[in-house]
Amino acid sequence: MLEKIQTTEKNFKSDLSEVGDLNHLEELRIKYLGRKGLFAILFDEFKQLPNEEKPKYGQTLNRLKIQCQNEFNEIKSKFSETAEDDDKGIDLTLPGRSVNIGTKHILMQTLFQIKSIFKGLGFSVYEGPELESDYNNFEALNFPADHPARDMQDTFFVNENFLFRTHTSPVQVRLMKEKKPPIRAIIPGKVYRNEAISAKSYCLFHQVEGLYIDGNVSFAELKGTLVAFAKQFFGNDVKYRFRPSFFPFTEPSAEVDIWWQPKGKEGRWLEILGCGMVDPNVLENVGIDSEKYTGYAFGMGAERIAMLKYGIGDIRVFFDNDKRFLTQF
């Protein structure tokens, strides 16, 4: 009898040490402590012992049963605690959540670069309103009413006298009216054009206007400034050219092209800006003596030069807010 009790104790301990979960534990409880369990069998045997032998085993058997019950309860409560932790949703084996940190939009980064290059060349930064008068956007810039040059820029009119500016040049007019020369400023901002939307053009884009008015400003200075900019922005080995052009508010006028060489494809010239010497008519319109002062102006498309620098093939991606595009920069 004693041997049987000892074996049961040993087996119970080793079984218990291998227990994996609550179901397994319950199986063991039934195996040992259930109504037909191993302890029940031991007690049946105990009852059949002769009376004089009963005291010898009774105590041991009882103590062992209570001890087993206690151990069983202890393990059960440990399992329940971990089960509760699981309910709280904490699973330390899960991979961590990554935090998405935002970045500046590539266009804003580009505008920032342009501004800092021109600040380094002695320009201040100004801004003007996007809703403009027809006078500032066209008339003061030497586009006479009904002049075909207005067709160069398809316009969103708000009413007869107001419109969404089609370029940043009207801010030239505002600045020259407000300040006395010397004026050396750049003016970044949004402009709007009523154009068919395609890979090449969008209904809104960004320009950076430049204006320098002083005694004896020359075309050579304009050229020097724009070349310095192009080299800083695109790199010293940038290939550029100045091409004669026409704008009603500058004379002479030019456009600057940059050589675009996509890998494995044929390269070509891409226009990035218009520029020229401020037309004396414009100076007179804003009350600056055109005998005393001369000046130059330029206007560049920010999307255009970002597309060139980063090899972006479609202007619409700047406005789509597609994370696959935005997170590349």
Contacting residues toward ligand PHE, per CB under 6 A: 167, 169, 209, 247, 250, 274-276, 297-299
Cβ proximity to ligand PHE: between 247 and 293 the closer is 247
Among residues 5 and 277, whose Cβ is nearest to ligand PHE?
Answer: 277
Of 69 and 290, which CB lies nearer to ligand PHE in the complex structure? 290
Least separation in angstroms between CB 91 and ligand PHE = 59
Which is nearer to ligand PHE, 8 or 166 (by Cβ)?
Answer: 166
Contact 111, 302 (CB under 8 A): yes
- Kindly state the smallest distance separating residue 228's Cβ from ligand PHE, in Å: 18
Residue closer to ligand PHE by CB (options 65, 165) is 165
Q: Provide the token pair at 14.
A: 């080793």
For ligand PHE, the closer of residues 5 and 283 by Cβ is 283
The CA-based diameter of the chain, rounded to the nearest angstrom, is 138
3-class SS of residue 277: strand
In angstroms, the CA 258 to CA 270 distance is: 5
Least distance in Å: CB of 124 to ligand PHE? Answer: 17
Residue 123: strand, helix, or coil: coil
Sign of the alpha-carbon torsion through 167, 172, 173, 178: positive
Only one residue has tokens 């003596």, namely 289
Q: How far is the CB of 251 from ligand PHE (least distance, A)?
A: 10
Of the pair 68, 211, the CB lying nearest ligand PHE is at 211
| Least separation in angstroms between CB 297 and ligand PHE | 4
> Which residue of the chain is nearest ligand PHE when measured via CB?
299
Q: Give the sign of the dihedral formed by CA 259, CA 305, CA 134, CA 249.
A: negative
Q: Give the shortest CB-260-to-ligand PHE separation in angstroms.
A: 19
The C-alpha atoms of residue 239 and residue 91 are separated, in whole angstroms, by 58
CA-to-CA dists, residue 112 to 100, 106, 116, angstroms: 23, 10, 6
Instruction: Output phi, psi for 260, to 5 deg.
Output: -110, 120
Q: 3-state class of 159 per DSSP?
A: coil
Judged by DSSP in three states, 282 sits in helix
